[in-house]
Structure 1
């Protein structure tokens, strides 16, 4: 057996995703619903914001939320998260989890009804990773 350490390995990531998805389905009896995305584009077709994540069973996780600088403060972030939550509900999800560094947007998520469930210290610059959760029935 040999271990190889390196940077990004798309082939390995795809293999692990498939293998863990199969394992989780066998262990729980719940099939993977899959990836979730919401894309916002302007009139020229340029991406101005988006959300990525996944749903599985009754849970959803937001991996990334981004809004282009010139669109921040316009309500686009709220629209993106609300669209992701609506799709999660459509897929049968009852809760959403997300994490956001203290220098990013934990207060934004709190305003949308998310509750802090924990923190992971040690982020560069003295920051923390804030873990948040929301019951979708709270709306």
Structure 2
């Protein structure tokens, strides 16, 4: 492909490219920081393992400008209904508060865990329709307080 000013460009499409992802995160973080004045604070992870070192569950999240965004929370099927999801979420919220966050956001499909997050004080703020199987993404928000850090 040649641009209007005669520069030849190549377009590549394929599977996830870790190098591209890392570069996009770096570039977008710099752009967002310049636009908002809110510096990136990094990422959070919470991991629970059993006595054999096997993963029981975990969470990944990011923090930016006082906001904690939960990317993923998962608990192994044989360990569900034992409070591990709540423990993982509470640990992440506490870490977010320690890092200066006063609010959190998460999205969950309707067949996953919206009710779980609602039990933990998250309110629905919107939906993205058209998820496979007739489902929606439920977008949720919560104000964090110092009591979430204890």
Write out aligned runs for 1:92-131 (5 A).
Answer: 92-131=100-139
1:31 equivalent to 2:39? Answer yes
Q: Distance in 1 between matches of 2:38 and 2:117?
A: 28
Off by >4 Å, runs of 4+ in structure 1? none
For 2:70, the equivalent position in structure 1 comes to 62
Q: How many angstroms does 1:2 deviate by? A: 2.5
Normalized against structure 1, the TM-score is what? 0.96
Of 39, 44, 48, which aligns to 1:40? 48
- If you compute each CA radius of gyration, which structure gives the higher value, 1 or 2? 2
C-alpha separation between the residues in 1 aligned to 2:116 and 2:35?
Answer: 35
Deviations 1:80-133 (A, max 9, x none): 000000000000001000000000000000000000001111110000000010
Equivalent residues, number:
139
The DSSP-based 3-state class of the residue aligned with 1:125 is coil
Aligned to 2:12: 4
Q: Which runs of 5+ in 1 are unaligned?
A: none
Q: Which residue of 1 aligns with 2:5?
A: none
The CA deviation at 1:3 is 1.9
Scaled by the length of structure 2, what TM-score is found? Answer: 0.89
